[in-house]
Amino acid sequence: MHDGFRGLVVATVMCATTVGAAGSTTGVLAGGSLCAPHTGVSDQSRPAAAGFAGRGGESREPDLGETHGDLPASAKGRAGRDFSARIPVYVHVVTDGVVGSLTTKQITDQIRVLNSTFAGAEGGAATGFSFQLAGVTRTDNADWFYAGPSGVDENSMKNALRQGGPNALNLYSTTAGPYLGWAYLPDIVTKPGQAHLDGVVIDWESMLGTSTTYAGRFDQGETATHEVGHWLNLEHTFFGGCSAKGDFVADTPSQKTPTSGCPEGKDTCSAPGLDPIHNYMDYSFDSCYTEFTAGQTQRMSDAWLLFRSP
């Protein structure tokens, strides 16, 4: 079990109001409290025809058709040891009726998980990134709730709900289609007509205390940690397989295949080092995750200065 909440303080919440284009948006923050929060609803209430054959962790993420690569040499090493960035987070709770509703506690717990994992509280590097809840919207819209990536529904949802600039994290709580989640790499903010897609989409049931659908696998809120890693320009630890460049980070050992569960001693490449199964950017269970590395921290902070620094 993780003990990632020690020494963390929940930030004061600002008020945010949004009206969706295709559904009714209600519930804003008033004096730091969510209006009329609902309790979580189990996966049993989900429509059988929604197409969730890949759920349960077998289909972690979609292929978003992005171009992956190393940072330009001029961008590397710009962030020093004293780097820090406080990221405003706008949480967009999208539901189908009451299905997918989140309580105030479930939302603030997710922010705690992000702060814990990015601070190195589970044993990894302290990245210098912290997260402050800036606003919450609540939208009842079944089309958006079941939307997959790169379609009309994702575009309309994000056009209607997205707040802030490149430095703001927009986190959409939906079913994430048939996936656990997805996030676009930060260069999306530089592409004409695509900046609105920037943000993280996660399956609401991967958040702490929401349901038992992913019990013992993906139920500690660290799907969001993984996806925010992508949002900050990290690749999977198994990206590039056993090639020399791998995930463009020198201190993550080479890895040929993604991990399922927590198989200690897994070693899929001949280069030195066991597979980094405890790294947040592998596909291990949440209970197996413990770290970002110093190299990943440098890549994230350099990417922040290149793409997101206000």
Among positive and negative, which fits the CA dihedral 146, 149, 152, 154? positive
Q: For residues 276 and 294, is the Cβ–Cβ distance under 8 A?
A: no
- 217 secondary structure, DSSP code: T
227 is catalytic: yes
**8 Å CB contact between 246 and 254:** yes
- Are 292 and 119 a contacting pair, CB within 8 Å? no
For residues 5 and 8, give the distance between their C-alpha atoms in angstroms, rounded to a whole number: 6
| Nearest residue to 237 via CA among 173, 169, 283 | 283
Provide φ and ψ at 225, rounded to 5°.
-60, -50
Candidates 61, 122, 205, 227; catalytic one: 227
Edge-to-edge order in the sheet of strand 169-174: 24-26, 129-140, 85-95, 169-174, 200-203, 181-183
The catalytic residues are 227
